[in-house]
Structure 1
Amino acid sequence: MLRKLFKKQEMDMNVLSPLSGKAIPLEEVPDEVFSQKMMGDGIAIEPISKDVLAPFSGVVVNVFKTKHAINLRADNGAEMLIHMGLETVELDGKGFEVHVNDGQEIKQGDLLATYDIEAVAKENYKTVTPVILLNGEKFSLTQVKTDVEVSGGKDLIFQLEIL
């Protein structure tokens, strides 16, 4: 009984903001796939910085060929998608420089990508960045931070608790 209690605490984790900017509710993202949580729950960041940082320690599962999104798996099994901008797949990598590879181990705060938000905005794409929990059937989001300014790699955006 006691071991289960301690094991649960080990599996819970803090998720830091991958970007500096304003944290907003996912429901405010102007894209139904994200706002209606079709991919999963989370939040979005209206970025003011170019550095995309690892929100937790784990491994890079997949860097999309078009460099606009990165899928990560935390040490506790949580899977997270960082989707830089909306419909930015159409840019075919323009405005994105990825610094990690599939299968690479990462530590919280590591630089994952550089996101040229000015160049993406100049191409008339939204720069809002959804941060989505992909396996929400195993975790719940708590302490969700929205409508606040967050610093990438420093501020908590939510906590994941294992179900």
Structure 2
Amino acid sequence: MFKKLFGKKESVNAIEVKAALTGTAVKLEEVPDPVFAERMMGDGIAIEPSEGVVVSPINGEVVQVFPTKHAIGIRAENGTEILIHIGLETVSMKGEGFETHISEGAKVSEGDKLVTFDLALVKEKAKSTITPIIVTNGDQVASLEKNAEGPVTRGTTTVMTVTVK
């Protein structure tokens, strides 16, 4: 209400993307996998998790739950598509140590639990626990502002602001 009184408009095309995990946010180019580091799938950030809980970073709809439970795709209310890819080379774990708490088509709110995983098992069996959070439909994005590096808290810390065209 205060902003409206003074004429400052908030863009309905912009969303804040919260941290999907608690841990340490790092630049995407620091991810030890060229598919992510070179932004082949899209731009974003990555989080080195300190616990095995993944929450929705946005309000939206779950559009994909990988059968191996290591990755989730969500479409925000403004059309932004987010991929959360838990760890690197975790697809080879075939779902071992991962539990999903949602299904495709589910409506989710910021902070809703999506996946829990055994962090120690991922450390043991995968290349890395680092978790890229990627905007996959970059052709629809007008601007992507990365807001976080360092410690982040799931569901609380804003890591990106995305504005669509």
Shorter-normalised TM-score: what interval?
Answer: over 0.9
**Aligned-pair identity (%):** 44
CA contact (8 A) 2:17 2:158 kept: yes
Deviates more, 1:79-88 or 1:113-122: 113-122
Q: TM-score, normalised by structure 2?
A: 0.91
Kindly report the root-mean-square deviation, in angstroms, between the aligned alpha carbons of the 2 structures: 1.3
Corresponding residue number in structure 1 for 2:121: 119
SS in 2 for 1:114: strand
Which residue is equivalent to 1:96?
98
> Shift in Å at residue 114 of structure 1?
0.2
2:137 aligns with 135
List aligned pairs for 1:58-77, cutoff 5 A.
58-77=60-79
Q: Is the 8 A contact 2:144 2:161 kept in 1?
A: yes
Structure 2 match to 1:144: 147
Q: 1:124 Cα deviation (Å)?
A: 4.5
1:45 aligns with 2:47: yes
Separation in structure 2 between the aligned mates of residue 115 and residue 132 of structure 1, nearest angstrom: 19
Q: Secondary structure at 2:123's aligned position in 1?
A: helix
What residue ranges of structure 2 are gaps of 5+ in the alignment?
1-7
Aligned partner of residue 62 in structure 2, secondary structure: strand
TM-score, scaled relative to structure 1: 0.92
Deviations 1:25-44 (A, max 9, x none): 00000000000000000000
Question: Does the alignment pair 1:110 with 2:112?
Answer: yes
1:20-64, Cα deviation, whole Å (9 max, x unpaired): 000000000000000000000000000001110000100000100
Residue 160 of structure 1 aligns to a residue whose secondary structure is strand
**Deviation of 1:144 (Å):** 3.0
For 1:24 and 1:131, locate their aligned partners in 2 and report how far apart those are by CA, in whole Å.
11
Q: Does 1:161 align with 2:152?
A: no
Consecutive unaligned residues in structure 1, runs of 5 or more: none
Aligned residues: 157
**Secondary structure at the counterpart of residue 109 of structure 1:** coil
C-alpha separation in 2, matches of 1:19 and 1:124? 18
